[in-house]
Amino acid sequence: MIRLWPRSLAGQMAVLIALSLFVAQAVNFTLVLRERAQFRLAQATRPVATRVVDALEREAQGRPLTRERGRIRRVGRNAVPPGLERQGEIARELHDQLRELGVEAGRIDTGVRAWTAADDALFGRAGGRRGGAPRGFVNRPTEALLIAIEQPGRGWLSIVVPWDDGGGMRIFWRLFAQTLILYAAILVPVLWAARRLSRPLRDLTHAAERFGPGDNAAPVAVRGPDDIAALVSSFNNLRLRVTAMLEEKDRMLGAIGHDLRTPLAALRVRIESVEDDIDRARMADTIEEMSRTLDDILSLARLGRPSEPPTEVDLAALVDAVVEDFRDLGKDVDFPETDRLPLRLRPALMRRALRNLVENAVKYGRTARVRLDATPNGVAITVADDGPGIPADHLATVFEPFTRLEASRNRDTGGSGLGLTLARAIVRDAGGDITLVNRAGGGLDATITLPRVP
């Protein structure tokens, strides 16, 4: 689909001004054509009406209207051939002109024909410029207008005058050239000004899209008009304040983690003095669960500012290492041998995201089948299980923090409700996403999709 309305400021200003100029030139063209038509009508009728009156006065003085004496002659019938192009507007205007001059006329007929050598001779003798163009015309006319005026009881008056087509095409091309000049004179400066306005806004947009925790990019250059420069400067200051708050949050989380891990470690030592093995095991499991929950919370909170830099790793080897860890624990996890697949990512975080998905699969579906599919533009890691799946109306909500489905993911199976949340946050930080799909035959497919960036 072709986008007709641009989104950029420069494009919108250019389109609006172009449309305004087009409308203005269309109105100007209409007015010029109307004025030209009125001038052409007056030029074709008023001289003819004056000549008719003069000719009739000469005739009243005993000078007959013959062809040899001028361009107006008296004939016995309509001298305009029936096949010529008629000019009804000229006939009506000429009728009104004659009535104003006191000449009663009946029917008036007109017709346009080609200019002939006889017309050259006629207008040459009449104008004193034998063989040349008639008066009022720079060049030789190409057409002649025949006019027949009926005088009841006295026959017809036949008149031949040079005919100009009005120069419609000449006017069109003249106005077209004017329009191009206007577009060049107005649109070019406007586009330059619009680009000067939009460039700092575009830089600001890119900086806002890139901004995130850990962003150490240089401040956006402050340029442009005063109001836009003030906006860019405010954004730079806002980014500094947000970065300072995120650093303060990291320091606070570090202190919280340290303060919580210390008493947990002390509890882990003290439970060794509990004589009942069952109580001691339950206490150890509770402490371990609290430690995992604390780790998940801190990891999720710090995810936007990871300390691990992206590196190029073999994704197939990374997935295989995670699968081997579960196999060592006696879990039923299958992963077919896959060719080497280099990808740039944060390996420790990606292992954690994949481990969370595989752990859910073996916990709630007993088995896990991991598959790695590569395309020219992306990579998909699918973890399939044979468990009960997830209700369709909860496929989106399970990614929310501390969300557990009581039907299959309750306290008896452990978990804090942060596994999927943390996994999706890690994958999205890498530019990908996680989707959950219930298979028709039962079971769940959890798929990680990652882009292949050159």
64-68, 155-159, 247-251, 292-296 — most confident range: 155-159
Instruction: Give the structural domain span for 86.
Output: 9-169
What pLDDT does residue 335 have?
92
Q: Which of 127, 131, 137, 138 is nearest to 117 (CA)?
A: 131
Cα separation, 154 vs 104, whole angstroms: 11
In the predicted model, is pLDDT for residue 369 greater than 90? yes
What pLDDT does residue 129 have?
47
**Residues 280 and 385 both lie in one domain:** no
Q: Comparing 443 with 10, which gets the higher pLDDT?
A: 443
**Residues 316 and 292 both lie in one domain:** no
What does the pLDDT look like over 128-171, one tens digit per residue? 444 455 555 556 778 888 888 888 888 888 888 887 765 556 76
Q: Comparing 78 with 304, which gets the higher pLDDT?
A: 78
Cα separation, 445 vs 358, whole angstroms: 11
Question: Is 199 within the bounds of a domain?
Answer: no
What pLDDT does residue 67 have?
58
Q: Comparing 443 with 293, which gets the higher pLDDT?
A: 443
In the predicted model, is pLDDT for residue 127 greater than 90? no
State mean pLDDT over 263-279.
79
What pLDDT does residue 187 have?
76
**Residues 293 and 321 both lie in one domain:** no
Confidence of residue 415 (pLDDT cuts 50, 70, 90): low
Question: Is 189 within the bounds of a domain?
Answer: no
Q: Which of 308, 307, 304, 349 is nearest to 213 (CA)?
A: 304
Domain boundary among 149, 169, 189: 169
Cα separation, 36 vs 95, whole angstroms: 21
What pLDDT does residue 132 have?
52
The 10 Å CB-count burial string (b at 16+, else e) for 295-314 is bbbbbebbbeebeeeeeebb
Amino acid letter at 445? Answer: D
Q: How many domains does the chain have?
A: 3
Q: C-alpha 152: how far from its chain's center?
A: 71
What pLDDT does residue 405 have?
63
What pLDDT does residue 306 have?
58
Question: Is 46 within the bounds of a domain?
Answer: yes
Domain boundary among 169, 202, 218: 169
Confidence of residue 417 (pLDDT cuts 50, 70, 90): low
**Residues 283 and 349 both lie in one domain:** no
Q: What is the pTM of this model?
A: 0.47
Q: Comparing 79 with 336, which gets the higher pLDDT?
A: 336
**Residues 132 and 273 both lie in one domain:** no
283-292, 337-346, 401-410 — most confident range: 337-346
**Residues 125 and 239 both lie in one domain:** no
Q: Comparing 368 with 256, which gets the higher pLDDT?
A: 368
Cα separation, 268 vs 223, whole angstroms: 60
Question: Is 143 within the bounds of a domain?
Answer: yes
SS3 track for the chain: CCCCCCCCHHHHHHHHHHHHHHHHHHHHHHHHHHHHHHHHHHHHHHHHHHHHHHHHHHHHCCCCCCHHHCCEEEECCCCCCCCCECCHHHHHHHHHHHHHCCCCCCCEEEEEEECCHHHHHHHHHHHCCCCCCCCCCCCCCCEEEEEEEEECCCEEEEEEEEECCCCHHHHHHHHHHHHHHHHHHHHHHHHHHHHHHHHHHHHHHHHHHHCCCCCCCCCCCCCCCHHHHHHHHHHHHHHHHHHHHHHHHHHHHHHHHHHHHHHHHHHHHHHHHCCCHHHHHHHHHHHHHHHHHHHHHHHHHHCCCCCCCCEEEEHHHHHHHHHHHHHHCCCEEECCCCCCCEEEECHHHHHHHHHHHHHHHHHHHCEEEEEEEECCCEEEEEEEECCCCCCHHHCCHHHCCCCCCCCCCCHHHCCCCCHHHHHHHHHHHCCCEEEEEECCCCCEEEEEEEECCC
Confidence of residue 382 (pLDDT cuts 50, 70, 90): very high
CATH number of the CATH domain containing 429: 3.30.565.10
**Residues 29 and 82 both lie in one domain:** yes
Cα separation, 23 vs 34, whole angstroms: 17
Q: Which of 398, 389, 436, 433 is nearest to 417 (CA)?
A: 398
What does the pLDDT look like over 216-238, one tens digit per residue? 778 888 887 788 888 889 988 98
Q: C-alpha 388: how far from its chain's center?
A: 45
Instruction: Tell me the CA distances in angstroms from 419 to 92, 293, 333, 382, one per residue in order.
Output: 92, 9, 18, 16
**Residues 447 and 380 both lie in one domain:** yes
| DSSP strand pairing (143-151 vs 155-163) | antiparallel
Cα separation, 166 vs 161, whole angstroms: 14
Q: Which of 148, 150, 147, 151 is nearest to 161 (CA)?
A: 147
What does the pLDDT look like over 168-194, one tens digit per residue? 567 677 777 877 887 788 778 877 777
Confidence of residue 124 (pLDDT cuts 50, 70, 90): low
**Residues 165 and 99 both lie in one domain:** yes
**Residues 350 and 284 both lie in one domain:** no
Question: Is 421 within the bounds of a domain?
Answer: yes
Q: Comparing 322 with 286, which gets the higher pLDDT?
A: 322
Amino acid letter at 221? Answer: A
Cα separation, 357 vs 322, whole angstroms: 11
- The mean of the pLDDT values for the chain is 79
Question: Is 185 within the bounds of a domain?
Answer: no
**Residues 294 and 315 both lie in one domain:** no
What does the pLDDT look like over 27-36, one tens digit per residue? 877 787 788 7
**Residues 13 and 150 both lie in one domain:** yes
What pLDDT does residue 130 have?
45
Domain boundary among 153, 169, 185: 169
% the chain with pLDDT above 90 = 11
In the predicted model, is pLDDT for residue 37 greater than 70? yes
CATH number of the CATH domain containing 256: 1.10.287
Question: Is 56 within the bounds of a domain?
Answer: yes
In the predicted model, is pLDDT for residue 69 greater than 60? no
State mean pLDDT over 297-308.
63
Question: Is 356 within the bounds of a domain?
Answer: yes
